[in-house]
Structure 1
Amino acid sequence: MPPRRSHKKSRAGCRRCKSRKIKCDEIHPRCGNCVKHGVACDFQHPEILAEQQSAASAGSPSTPASSIDFRSPIARPDVPAFASPAPLYRPPPTPSLSSTTPAGHRLLELKLMHHYTALTCKTFTFTAPVTEDIWKITVPNLAFAGSQHLADAILAVAALHLRSLTPNDKELIRASHAYMAASLAEYSATLTRGIDNSNAETLFLTAALIAFQSTATRVFMKDELSLGGGAGSQPGEPIKDRNKAAGCYVIPFSWFHSFQGVKAITAASWQYLRASPVVTQVINSQAVLQLDFTSGPETFFGHLLDSLEDELAAMKAPQNGSDIPPARPSSASSQQQNRHDIGNEELIAATRQAYQHAVAVLNWAHKIPHKGAPLAFPATVSRRYIELLEERRPRALAILACFFALLKSMDSVWWLQGMARREVLGVVSLFNSDFFGPDAYREWWPHLEWAMRIALYEHEGAARGEPIPVDVWGADWFAEERALDGQQGNDNYFRHIEMFSQIMSPDNSVPPVPQ
């Protein structure tokens, strides 16, 4: 019997052959088995090895190589979308860029950054051309200097903008969500580590981009009117249950959370931001709030405060379901009742102030909507007003409808397009639902009529930047702008924030991450 031929075991075969447990002929640049089956070989594309190892570590060790997805990480749920998998394979001494980052991923990021600098950055400002250069040049440079949360936020917003041009592009849908998720994660981690002079500027800019993204995402959501739940909901049910059950329309609280986040990050880091020329220019480019707290028919939205005192008086009514005074309380219960009364008085005062302030912002924004003034509403309303929205108070909802109607003035902006019509109709639908009872629509219609008229108005000159006619809108935008400029003098947003920050403790003002 002839001696057995010696066999020299080799460990240099390609990864695919190893996973299939077949002998690799080790031919470069592609082994014979990979050529035969028409698949990629890690001899020719070293990055495939990293892809396979990453996918294998995330899934079952027995996953066949033929089932691994080699698309860009952006398009894959099992691989981190914002950096290529850790290179388990060390490339030759002179590697190409493709050995560390998949080509499709690189091209997408180049496409997104180009779109951002060419187009998206121009859609963030309504007033000062100088801020366009900040968003176009300065902000990307700050991201390139090492701010990952800012870089991811830039790419997320650019992907969303491109998606507005091609709504059915699934890669852009995945990219916009994935990049923003990565930005929020890093943003949250940075806040946890603390705000200081080195990160305050980029945190502020990222917060602003998060607010843009949160607002724009609403444009792409399908109509949220649903068939379930309305009949069984009652005003006495928990807020969480009522918001689901009342039936129809879901209030975009993410708007308020994200814009309030910008305000909070500004207050928390103002000691650093006040010395930043970048942030100063962005802030001072905004129209200055000039609020008049006069109530009544002499102001455009004064009617939204009609019968406010009656509503507040109802909050003082006995909670025992009876008009009969309770029995004489003991000393301990009397003290408890006093504390309750004081707390109730504070709540009533906060409610009054919340409504008055919200209406004052509406009156101001109504005069100069073309300057982006309506966007100050979600950023400046009080926490108590947001609570009133969560409780679905009719007055708070009527105010909300008027705010959304103001956005009609910016209908040509991609991230606000169609917003007025959609949201006003949604809010008004709540008054037609079973949640408020049969008389709510008739009672509140006089306060909703203007919002509905504006939301449904077809404005042929909107694309050309023409104002809505005075007889429809109720104010001459440019005449009001000149009048407000004359009253403003040397006042600017910088001074407003300076005063606001003095009454807030930076140590206790770290903003929450938007939901």
Structure 2
Amino acid sequence: MSATSVKRSGRSRPKTRTGCRTCKQRKIKCDERRPSCANCIKRGVECAFNKSTATSSSLSPTADSQSCSTSIGDQIANLPAGFGFIDFEILHHFTVSTCFTISSEPLVRNTLRVTLPQIGFANDYVLHAILSVAALHLSHCKTEKSAFYISHAIQHHRIASATAVPLLSKISAENCVPICMFSALTFIFALASPRQPEDFLVVKSSTVPIWLLLLKGVHSVIEAESETITSSPLVAIFQHNLQEENFTRSLPIDTNESFVELENNIDIYNRSYPTKCRILHEAVSKLKRSYILVYGEDRLSSNAIKYVFTWLYHISDDFLKLLKEIDQEALCVLGYFCVLLKQQENSWWIEGWATHLVSKIYSQLDELHRLWIRWPIEQIGWVP
């Protein structure tokens, strides 16, 4: 065969023009599945086809049904090895029940119910994380089988972590969305898991738990891959809407007076330690912002559950170091956070944390510093 004929053969090769717009922009092969192709599902971004493509595809009366059935079949085929009947039960429970307990926002609920499982089908570790949270919820609902579901939850989260944690050092536009979802699910898993006596929530056995490192890491991921996140169907979950005017409102009067007392105590007892004083004041300032967002206009915000954990998302490594050292003043600041937790105890995965945490803090304080947290104790209703 001559070189000329080879060249002609190359020019005459047919090109596909029916891929989704996202794949075309990225110049990668699209499998053209409806309503979302595999590439877009894996990245967690919106999948859109040109109208002309949709029109040509709809010429056949069975095209949509064939595409749907193929997509479902492929999803089932791509389920992790060993996926059994009990896992189908747990996954079903997530879509009909658990997802509605995570957020009160309709957009977030629908995203968790519809989009998150799709991402799980394309990323095994996300699917295992979904199952770990749903299994813990089942253990809460079906107390007679609690140990059975807790065992499944722990197993699924171990499998998820084995794959996801090594990816944290390799975050890119390709995996940032599933990594963020794994981090969020791990956070819920950690709070919903059976508590240990020594658990201080943000410090356990003098170490920072992996869920908090993941939660704080999400901040840098969102900043680095903001374009991917904002173009993703999951934007409703990660968009905090922390507008500057929210921070200019005043705290409720009784709350404000209590914070003034806390800040005065910090100043009085840390005059010789300006660096520590700065770290503590910074943590208190950020906590006051969470209070303002949660209680906006002197009432609980509809986004309260999200704003409660804004503080954990933003606390500094220096403050965490103080908590690891069981510093008395840092523990007192953490005690004020317990009041926010108490407001959200109608959520099964937060239930009991406020009382557990304030009691642990109280046990570590001397008599003087116990007086610092009288207001949180009274607000929570715990009796020492």
TM norm structure 2: 0.66
Partner of 2:321: 387
Matching of residue 182 in structure 1 with residue 159 in structure 2: yes
Equivalent residue, structure 1, for 2:184: 208
Any idea what SS the aligned residue of 1:314 has? coil
Structure 2 spans left out of the alignment, 5+ residues: 1-76
Q: Which AA in structure 2 matches 1:147?
A: N
Deviation, structure 1 residue 116 = 0.3
Output aligned runs, 1:253-268, within 5 Å: 253=209, 256-268=212-224
Partner of 1:351: 279
| Residues 74-153 of structure 1: pairs in structure 2 closer than 5 A | 106-126=84-104, 128-144=105-121, 146-153=122-129
In the other structure, the counterpart of 1:375 is: 309
- Using a 3 Å threshold, how does the CA distance of structure 1 residues 265 and 182 change in structure 2: closer, same or farther? farther
- The residue number in structure 2 matching 1:308 is 266
2:329 & 2:167 partners in 1: Cα distance? Answer: 39
Q: Per the alignment, in what secondary structure is the counterpart of residue 348 of structure 2?
A: coil
Corresponding residue of 2:346: 412
The alpha-carbon deviation at position 187 of structure 1 amounts to 1.0
* Counterpart AA for 2:374: E
Distance, in Å, in 2 between the alignment partners of 1:398 and 1:352 is: 10
Is the 1:112–1:159 contact (alpha carbons within 8 Å) kept by the matching residues of 2? yes
- Tell me what 2:174 maps to: 198
Cα distance in 1 for residues equivalent to 2:363 and 2:350:
21
CA distance in 2, matches of 1:299, 1:258: 34
1:316-365 residue CA offsets vs partner (Å, 9 max, x unmatched): 7xxxxxxxxxxxxxxxxxxxxxxxxxxxxxx4575255334344335425
How far 1:415 sits from its partner (Å)? Answer: 0.1
Instruction: Tell me the equivalent position of 2:66.
Output: none
Distance 1:293 1:306 in 2: 21
The size of the alignment, in residue pairs, is 292
Q: 1:384 to 1:294 in 2, by over 3 A?
A: farther
- Correspondence list, 1:53-68, <5 A: none
Provide the residue aligned with 1:158 in structure 2. Answer: 134
The offset of 1:400, in angstroms, is 0.7
Matches within 5 A, 1:163-174: 163-167=139-143, 168-174=145-151
Note if contact 2:98-2:137 (Cα within 8 Å) is conserved in structure 1.
yes
Task: Find the aligned partners of 1:291 and 1:355 in 2 and give their Cα distance.
Answer: 15
Gaps of 5+ in 1: 1-96, 226-239, 245-249, 317-346, 432-439, 459-515
| Partner Cα distance (1:374, 1:113) in 2 | 27
Q: Is 1:448 aligned with 2:373? A: yes
* Corresponding letter in the other structure for 1:423: L
Mark the CA change 1:350 to 1:131 in structure 2 (over 3 Å): closer, same or farther: same
Q: Which amino acid is 2:262 matched to?
A: L
CA distance in 2, matches of 1:183, 1:397: 32
Letter in structure 2 aligned against 1:141: Q
For residue 301 of structure 1, report the CA deviation from its aligned partner.
1.9
Q: Cα distance 1:143–1:384, how it changes in 2: closer, same or farther (>3 A)?
A: same
Deviation of 1:196 (Å): 2.5
Matched residue of 2:152: which SS?
A: helix
Distance 1:257 1:399, change over 3 A: same
Letter in 1 for 2:381: L
- Determine which of 213, 218, 234 is the counterpart of 1:279: 234
**What root-mean-square deviation, in Å, do the aligned CA atoms of Structure 1 and Structure 2 show?**
3.3
Letter in 1 for 2:101: T
Alpha-carbon shift at residue 456 of structure 1 (Å): 2.4
Paired AA for residue 267 in structure 2: E
Supply the distance in 1 between the matched residues of 2:322 and 2:315 (Cα, whole angstroms).
11
**Distance between the aligned counterparts of 1:300 and 1:307, measured in 2?**
11
User: For the Cα contact (< 8 Å) 2:335–2:373, is it kept in 1?
Assistant: yes
CA distance in 2, matches of 1:428, 1:284: 35
Does the 8 Å contact 1:215/1:255 carry over to 2?
no
Structure-1 separation of matches of 2:127 and 2:161: 11
1:357–1:381 contact (8 Å) kept in structure 2? no
**Maintained 8 Å contact 2:249/2:292:** no
1:155 Cα deviation (Å)?
0.7
Partner-residue secondary structure (3-state), 1:196: coil
CA offsets per residue over residues 57-116 of structure 1, 9 Å max, x none?
xxxxxxxxxxxxxxxxxxxxxxxxxxxxxxxxxxxxxxxx9xx976xx511111110100
**1:468 aligned partner:** none
1:221 and 2:195 correspond: yes
* Cα gap change, 1:362 to 1:305, in 2 (>3 Å): farther
TM-score of the aligned structures, taking structure 1 as reference length? 0.51
Classify 1:355/1:140 alpha carbon distance in 2 versus 1 (closer, same or farther; 3 Å): closer
**1: CA distance between counterparts of 2:171 and 2:363?**
43
Measure, in 2, the Cα distance between the counterparts of 1:366 and 1:130: 19
**In structure 2, C-alpha distance between the alignment counterparts of 1:284 and 1:366, rounded to whole Å:** 16
Following TM superposition, by how much is the alpha carbon of 1:284 offset from its aligned partner in structure 2, in angstroms?
3.1
Larger Rg: 1
Corresponding letter in the other structure for 2:331? L
Shift of 1:255: 5.5
Distance 1:106 1:416 in 2: 29
| Matching of residue 364 in structure 1 with residue 292 in structure 2 | yes
CA deviation digits over 1:376-406, x for unaligned, max 9?
Answer: 1211112221112112222211111111222
Report the Cα distance in structure 1 between the residues aligned to 2:187 and 2:152, rounded to whole angstroms: 17
User: Per the alignment, in what secondary structure is the counterpart of residue 170 of structure 1?
Assistant: helix
User: Going by fraction, where is helix more abundant, 1 or 2?
Assistant: 2
Q: CA deviation at 1:293?
A: 11
Q: Check 1:292–1:395 CA distance in 2 against 1; reply closer, same or farther (3 A cut).
A: farther
